[in-house]
Amino acid sequence: MTNQTDPTGDVRLTGIAKTYGAFTAVHPLDLTVPQGSFFALLGASGCGKTTTLRMIAGLEEPSAGTVSLGGQDVTALPPYKRPVNTVFQSYALFPHLDIFENVAFGLRRRGLRSVKKQVGEMLDLVQLGEQARKKPHQLSGGQQQRVAVARALINHPKVLLLDEPLGALDLKLRRQMQLELKRIQTEVGITFIHVTHDQEEAMTMADTVAVMNAGRVEQLGSPADLYENPNTTFVANFLGTSNFIEAEVDSRSGGEIVLKAGGGKLVLPEARCSAPATAGGKVLVGVRPEKISLTHADDAGEIPEGRNRITGKIADSSFIGVSTQYVVDSPVCADFEVYAQNIDRDPRLVPGAEVVLHWNPAHTFGLDAAQDADAGVEEAA
Amino acid sequence: MSTLTEAPPPLAPEAPEPKPPQRRGRWTPYWLLLPGILWLVVFFALPMIYQASTSVQTGSLEEGYKVTWHFATYWDALSAYWPQFVRSVLYAGTATILCLLLGYPLAYLIAFRAGRWRNLIMILVIAPFFTSFLIRTLAWKTILADGGPLVGALDTLHVLDVTDWLGWTAGDRVLATPLAVVCGLTYNFLPFMILPLYTSLERIDGRLHEAAGDLYARPWTTFRKVTFPLSMPGVVSGTLLTFIPAAGDYVNADLLGSTDTRMVGNVIQTQFLRVLDYPTAAALSFILMAAILLMVTLYIRRSGTEDLV
């Protein structure tokens, strides 16, 4: 295990940018990935995440800025001189070499003569010891994926780059490989930079996630932080689902902002509002569907004081086992989504029923109203 | 344990039993094969049988030929013309190697570096086919003409001294020497090398080059360890497509060579059309065919391309 505080594996991008003619794939970007962390670049296709990864690998030349690995500027180095290795999308295993030789490729290029022991150990780590003499096309997708990981990891790179490594696998295998990769990363302690468009994958595996959109990093943070405190509607919609209510700032006091929306009042903690909230200004109030409780309008009196509440009418409900997902039509927001755990199901909550939606104000977040409330909805689908 | 319940079947009108699938199309493949098979029988199988029988006949043009199972013709032909056989293999082999050396870089360029020039270069490769084989070979007669600019330049640079010493050219002449024949063969069969090479190079996934670079392989190592091995199918088919017709060729040796550069193709041509010794000509043809088949089989075995994806 490598010392976690050893700074030799820090990846530092300074003002790195990539343009193709008039098109800017990556806007000037500063990013530091600390040694030993599992870092995910998350975004829809075409957002510049793969280009960023390829610039770190040296497969793409940045138009501006520098890449440094552990304090060493590697911007001008060709890929074969950089202490990084890549797990390519669809693996790029050498079809004419067997699994053993694929894994040994990097070691042999560095002039190592006796590779048998190392390759054997690496194949055991990814549970492919039996398959050493097979050709890549004789293996299943999941096995090929593990060969690609082994082929990169055996070189003990300072950083391992993963370019949508699980994209070609089916859902079940993907879940399994996510845990597997996480286990390997913990075991070897190498910095992993993982590019993916799958928000669930990024959240499950990574310590830090950078959400990219149109060549820029929209927000960077731990998965829980991004999920609970999105700074933009894009992040709020790309990571999970969010409901937005356009509200007007009424007053602010004691760390709380009071807002008016459709005749009702909503409370938002000041710390959770990323927009400048001046009295009379507009704010987009967001809340996650699972934070909301649903009470039939007849029982509205039983709702405890101090909760944000909105009235509405159930438009649709779908039972999906662990929870029921409701779509509620409300005067302040059409298609309000609510996920209710199936603990005690109220038989009156059927489409057409008048309901009150209520939630703890601490779960509310505020965003700048000047942006598109639906940004990132399409991409996340 | 849960109990199994059966979903009620949807109500449907009494459907007729589905008919067993019609086997109407079962003869289609054979009908489609028929024209090709007929062609092969008439223009390949029957002539082969006819030639085989000719090769074991004896007699003369005046008295007519009879099948006498005279296999000695084979031995006689081989002992009389073995130098031409050796020369054919030598010239064709040299031309094939030259084609590979010239064609590989060009095919590589077209496949990986040509960008928008790709189609233009491809057309230039194929363009010579628009003129007749004969005209193209005759053009080389002009290019290599005695005292012409090319030969003059080679002479001035003392290249001809070296090739003369090697026995490839004679004095200050290039025409009517082995070099001229090999040049003609190389030129005429070069597209047959480039096209298969290009096809197999173009099929190589560009990410494999990136992966090799990522795994510390310098560009030259990437070529040796990844690109070249993966282009082996193209190398094998290209060399076969060049070597086989070049070994049996007689036009180049006829137009660009002399009596000292005669290849086995020239001998067969002369025996058939001038001497009218049909049995010897047929026997020579079969010997050539057997020799090529043997060499090709050994070559394919050695190169091990059947193992490639």
Cβ of A119 under 8 Å from any chain B Cβ? no
Chain A residues with CB-CB distance to B218 below 8 A: 80
ipTM for this prediction: 0.81
> Residue B206: closest CA among chain A residues belongs to which residue?
A92
Note whether A270 and A206 are same-domain residues.
Answer: no
Q: Which residues contact A2 (CB under 8 A, 6 or more apart)?
A: A9, A35, A36, A188, A189, A190
Helices (H) and strands (E) in chain B, counts: 15, 2
Note whether B201 and B266 are same-domain residues.
Answer: yes
Beta bridge mates, A257: A252, A268
Note whether A141 and A275 are same-domain residues.
Answer: no
The Cα–Cα gap between B282 and B272 comes to: 8
| Cβ burial, residue A374 (10 Å; 0-12/13-18/19+) | exposed
The answer to whether the CB atoms of B218 and A80 lie below 8 A apart is yes
Note whether A165 and A254 are same-domain residues.
Answer: no
The answer to whether the CB atoms of B216 and A109 lie below 8 A apart is yes
The answer to whether the CB atoms of B309 and A95 lie below 8 A apart is yes
Note whether A91 and A227 are same-domain residues.
Answer: yes
Note whether A342 and A205 are same-domain residues.
Answer: no
Of the candidates A263, A266, A262, the one whose C-alpha atom is nearest the C-alpha of residue A277 is A266
- Name which of A96, A109, A137 is nearest B215 (Cβ-Cβ): A109
Exposure b/e, A70-93, CB count within 10 A at least 16 = b: beeebeeeebbebbbbbbbbbbbb
Cβ of A94 under 8 Å from any chain B Cβ? yes
The answer to whether the CB atoms of A85 and B214 lie below 8 A apart is yes
Note whether A358 and A219 are same-domain residues.
Answer: no
- On the question of pLDDT at B275 being above 60, the answer is yes
Contact between A203 and A227 under an 8 Å Cβ cutoff? The reply is yes
> Residue B221: closest CA among chain A residues belongs to which residue?
A109
pLDDT in tens, chain A (381 residues): 344 444 566 899 999 999 998 999 999 999 999 999 999 999 998 899 999 999 999 999 999 999 999 888 999 999 999 999 999 988 999 999 999 999 999 999 999 888 999 999 999 888 888 999 999 999 998 899 999 999 999 999 989 999 998 887 888 888 888 988 898 898 888 999 999 999 989 999 999 999 999 999 999 999 999 999 999 999 999 998 899 998 989 888 888 889 988 778 899 998 888 888 777 888 899 999 999 999 999 988 888 888 998 999 999 999 988 899 999 998 888 889 999 998 887 889 999 999 999 999 999 999 988 888 888 776 654
Can you state the angle between helices B72-108 and B278-303, rounded to 10 degrees?
Answer: 40
> Residue A157: closest CA among chain B residues belongs to which residue?
B215
Note whether B111 and B235 are same-domain residues.
Answer: yes
Between A and B, how many residue pairs show a Cβ–Cβ distance under 8 A?
64
- On the question of pLDDT at B170 being above 90, the answer is no
Chain A residues with CB-CB distance to B213 below 8 A: 58-59, 78-80
Name residue B281's amino acid: A
Cβ of B203 under 8 Å from any chain A Cβ? no
Q: What is the pLDDT of residue B229?
A: 93
Contact between A268 and A366 under an 8 Å Cβ cutoff? The reply is yes
Residue B192 lies in a domain: yes
Can you state the angle between helices A141-153 and A116-125, rounded to 10 degrees?
Answer: 130
Q: Per the structure block, which two tokens stand in for A94? A: 């050498």
Which pTM was predicted? Answer: 0.81
CA distance A288 to chain B (A): 36
Residue B4 lies in a domain: no
Chain A residues with CB-CB distance to B211 below 8 A: 86, 88, 92-94
The Cα–Cα gap between B77 and B253 comes to: 20
The residue among A94, A97, A163 with the most chain B CBs within 10 A of its CB, best to mutate, is A94
Kind and range of the H or E run holding A20: strand A11-20
**Pick from A233, A265, A300: which residue ends a domain?**
A233
- On the question of pLDDT at B12 being above 60, the answer is no
CA distance B204 to chain A (A): 10
CA count, 13 A, side-chain hemisphere, B62: 0
Q: Per the structure block, which two tokens stand in for A162? A: 């993963």
Residue A2 lies in a domain: no
Q: What is the pLDDT of residue B106?
A: 96
Q: From edge to edge, which strands make up the β-sheet containing A264-269?
A: A264-269, A256-261, A243-253, A282-287, A365-368
Alpha helices (H) along B203-277: 206-214, 219-222, 228-230, 232-248, 251-256, 264-270
Residue A112 lies in a domain: yes
The Cα–Cα gap between B186 and B51 comes to: 30
What's the domain count of chain A? 2
Contact between B283 and B55 under an 8 Å Cβ cutoff? The reply is yes
Rg (C-alpha) for chain A, rounded Å, is 25
The residue among B204, B207, B215, B232 with the most chain A CBs within 10 A of its CB, best to mutate, is B215
> Residue B308: closest CA among chain A residues belongs to which residue?
A96
Domain interval for residue A98? 7-233
Mean pLDDT of B216-242: 94
What's the domain count of chain B? 2
Note whether A246 and A190 are same-domain residues.
Answer: no
**Pick from A233, A252, A277: which residue ends a domain?**
A233
- Name which of A57, A93, A96 is nearest B214 (Cβ-Cβ): A57
The answer for B 212-241 residues in CB contact with A (under 8 A) is 212-218, 221, 225-226, 229-230
The Cα–Cα gap between A79 and B216 comes to: 7
The Cα–Cα gap between B271 and B266 comes to: 9
CATH of the domain at A265: 2.40.50.100
The Cα–Cα gap between A19 and B133 comes to: 50
Domain interval for residue B88? 82-307
Range among A254-263, B52-61, B209-218 rated most confident:
B209-218
Note whether A300 and A206 are same-domain residues.
Answer: no
Q: What is the pLDDT of residue B287?
A: 94
